Amino acid sequence: MATLLDGEGGDEVLGCAPYLIADRLRRGRLRAATRLARSLPGMGPAPDPRMVRRALVRFGLRGALPHTLHRALRRWPTRPGGTPAWLAADLAAQHRADEDPWAWKRLRAPRWWAAKAHDLFAGSEELGAADQLRREAASAGLRFAHPYRDQELIELALALPPEPAFDAELDRPLARQAMRGTLPDEVRRGTAKPFFNRFLAEALQADLPAIRRLVGSPDAAIRSFVDAEAVISVLDAPASRRRLEWPLDVWRLATLEFWLRTEADAGAMDVLVERAAVPV
């Protein structure tokens, strides 16, 4: 086996464009915006009114605000949002000041198209997705190919009208329709989605004592960049109180600590791995 096909870009190409709700509001069509909010994938046949209101605020009101106004509101002196709670306050504030998640509003295009085009092009580049996938492939001696990043497919996705991609019960309805007769209907119309959070959480739980020693020690390299108390609260959180993002938080903390130590000393990794192998 020399090549693996992955699903990178599938959400962006095949998913709905929720900021179409903002376009409806900008034209004063509140009822049409509400209908779209009720039709977002996952809403179900009887959407919770609170979820509909939340969608109207997130994709409608926020999406409709001019970029300059939204950018100014993000600089308001509050606790930075969109950053991990364990990140040091000054770094979180800097991240919030430097980041511009609404940059796509600068495009002279309908909100839905501007956001989708940004996700398809600039979004993945900002995350370094291509570099990450290339490193993963190289580490396994493989080549990764990304069929959802095909230029012709992307151009088609941006040329299609956005309305048919809204379905309250099924995500990616157009892709499902295209697969009629190719996939069994029980698969094509299935709504179950596999999540691997529990697998990752259990794997990290086994290594948690070593991670706690590494990240929670007084000489941890990461201490200059985090809130030490918040880090301990993440590592010591009882299973009953762990949020969905707990495995990713622990994973990121451990990875950052490994990276910082190996930047300072190339041989640090071997020492850390040797220590981690010793039973606690």
pLDDT of residue 47: 93
Mean pLDDT, the chain, whole residue set: 87
The mean pLDDT of 157-179, rounded to a whole number, is: 93
pLDDT confidence bin for 278, thresholds 50/70/90: low
The mean pLDDT of 132-158, rounded to a whole number, is: 90
pLDDT at 6 over 90: no
pLDDT of residue 51: 95
The angle at the Cα of 96, spanning 262 to 234, to the nearest 5 degrees, equals: 55
pLDDT at 101 over 90: no
pLDDT confidence bin for 159, thresholds 50/70/90: very high
pLDDT confidence bin for 113, thresholds 50/70/90: very high
More reliable by pLDDT, 65 or 126: 65
pLDDT confidence bin for 79, thresholds 50/70/90: very low
pLDDT at 83 over 80: no
Of the ranges 90-99, 148-157, 187-196, which one carries the lowest mean pLDDT score?
Answer: 90-99
pLDDT at 87 over 90: no
pLDDT at 181 over 90: yes
pLDDT at 227 over 50: yes
Of the ranges 95-99, 140-144, 186-190, which one carries the lowest mean pLDDT score?
Answer: 95-99
Q: What percent of the chain has pLDDT over 70?
A: 95
pLDDT of residue 71: 72
pLDDT confidence bin for 33, thresholds 50/70/90: very high
pLDDT confidence bin for 82, thresholds 50/70/90: low
pLDDT at 57 over 70: yes
pLDDT of residue 80: 46
More reliable by pLDDT, 123 or 148: 148
The mean pLDDT of 1-19, rounded to a whole number, is: 90
